[in-house]
Amino acid sequence: MAECYTLRYVNIATNKIESGNNAPPQQIESPLTGNIRNSSIELLRLISMFMIVACHFVMGNKANGASGLWISEQPLSFTNFFYQVICRGGGWFGNIVFFTISVWFLIDKNITVKNSLKRIWILERELLFWSITLFVVTVVLHQQGIYRDGLAMLGVRSVLPLSTNLWWYPTSYALFLLFIPYLSIALKALGRKLHCTLAISVLIIWGIAPLLPKITFNLVSDTVFNFLYLFILISYYKWYMSEFSNRTCIILILVGLSTNILYWLAGSIIYSHTGKLIQMQNYLVVRCSISEMMIGFAVFILFTKFSFHSRIINVLAASAFGVYLIHIYPSMIAVWPNYLSINKVFYNTWAIPLGLLEIFIIFGVCLVLDLLRQGLFATTINRNKGKWFELMYATIQRKVAHRKSYRKPHVSSDSVPKHRAD
């Protein structure tokens, strides 16, 4: 199938493509809602998910423990740098990029509560499909003795994936969708000056101050507050700031990466001499830190400056989120690291290529599985996407309207004061 690749300059503020021959600008549709999707952004979506898988590859094996300390105990080396700074740092880089892609096209839209609920409804269908499917697989693995943990609570969480926080990202994103209709109106009502003050305040509190270890101001876990924080900054940039130049983006990436390297290097040296502060090596890369934001947002802006269309990339990118759901499902993350893990390749001469190969295997298998899900949905429930939600929403609206009209006080003829005719 022929593919058309056209390199163009993208004006971020107007979200339009300007071709080199001054042709009329063409609107770029949202990758979430539109028909025309910029494959540059979709390629970045795939890259960000690959980096998230790479992060979990470093942290996922049992030898690492819950916080991935095994690799932090290894001697200082380029291999250590690659896996800790690049791969492990790719986790929050991927989260930030993935969220920015989603929210970038929502900022200027008139998002209503109904729109948000419909998006959550559509999101929940995919979550339920994978949570129930993977739970069935887990039962089989449990019977075979491959998965040894309990099934009862996992079963409950699989039936209620959003409300039980089975996956932190979709739960936080669903909550964010509930807030965005109000948050967007509120931020616009603030105006440029107050919005700027708010953006600077949160950047100091949750960005600059936490550069000092142990100072977190409660932004320590994977919650919706990370997304609210990012939205305040992203919306200010898109509404009021001039577009970052390529040079500015590159500087942001280099400063962010240098900051991560500095913390990793200092933490490694301190730990090798004292046996203390082992977690300082990864202090910035395991949270929504200012360095990770600088890298992630700058990379996103660079990708928005170019546009091309590839149907293959667009189809693959539509399954990127499925890769996340599959490989990080509780039982899956407990099983696959037994076969594909960093501690099995770390001391090999080809440690980095072998590790990348294993990451590609995890990513590729999950991608293929979700492509099958995508095909199944296309021939079944996506033929009338959101139809059941519209019917349910309309029914609830009618019932609410009926109750309001029923409760309206009636004015009887007896209660109307009668005037005496003179």
- Strand-pairing partners, residue 299, are none
Torsion of CA 225, 229, 230, 235, to 10 degrees: 130
Mean pLDDT of the region 376-385 = 85
Q: How many Cα atoms within 13 Å fall on the side-chain side of residue 161?
A: 26
Task: Name the pLDDT band for 73 (thresholds 50, 70, 90).
Answer: confident
pLDDT score recorded for residue 389: 76
Contacts of 355 (CB under 8 A, 6+ apart): 57, 83, 87, 342, 345, 346
- Strand-pairing partners, residue 321, are none
pLDDT score recorded for residue 29: 42
Mean pLDDT of the region 62-79 = 71
Task: Name the pLDDT band for 201 (thresholds 50, 70, 90).
Answer: very high
Residue 127 has pLDDT above 90, yes or no: yes
Residue pair 294/252 in contact by the 8 Å Cβ criterion: yes
Residue 318 has pLDDT above 50, yes or no: yes
Residue 23 has pLDDT above 80, yes or no: no
User: Measured between alpha carbons, how far is 220 from 378 in angstroms, rounded to an integer?
Assistant: 39
For a pLDDT cut of 70, what percent of the chain falls above it? Answer: 85
Contacts of 398 (CB under 8 A, 6+ apart): none
pLDDT score recorded for residue 34: 42
Nearest to 314 by CA among 97, 35, 48, 39: 39
pLDDT score recorded for residue 8: 37
Out of 16-25, 124-133, 202-211, 257-266, least confident range: 16-25
Token look-up 């759901």 returns 325
What are the CB-based long-range contacts (under 8 Å, 24+) for 71-78?
71/342, 71/343, 71/346, 72/267, 72/268, 72/271, 72/278, 72/279, 72/281, 72/282, 73/271, 73/278, 74/346, 75/272, 76/265, 76/268, 76/269, 76/272
Residue 190 has pLDDT above 90, yes or no: yes
pLDDT score recorded for residue 386: 73
Mean pLDDT of the chain: 84
pLDDT score recorded for residue 18: 35
Residue 398 has pLDDT above 90, yes or no: no
C-beta atoms surrounding 86 within 10 Å? 19
Residue pair 306/10 in contact by the 8 Å Cβ criterion: yes
Residue 64 has pLDDT above 80, yes or no: no
Mean pLDDT of the region 53-77 = 74
Cα–chain center distance at 188: 24
C-alpha angle 330-129-140 in degrees, rounded to nearest 5: 55
Nearest to 191 by CA among 230, 241, 240: 240
User: Measured between alpha carbons, how far is 132 from 155 in angstroms, rounded to an integer?
Assistant: 8
Out of 106-110, 247-251, 261-265, least confident range: 106-110
Out of 68-77, 102-111, 323-332, least confident range: 68-77
- Give the end-to-end CA distance of the chain in Å, rounded to a whole number: 92
For CA atoms 122, 51, 313, 252, give the dihedral sign. Answer: positive
Nearest to 119 by CA among 162, 87, 65, 86: 162
Mean pLDDT of the region 129-148 = 93
pLDDT score recorded for residue 30: 41
pLDDT score recorded for residue 286: 79
Residue pair 58/68 in contact by the 8 Å Cβ criterion: yes
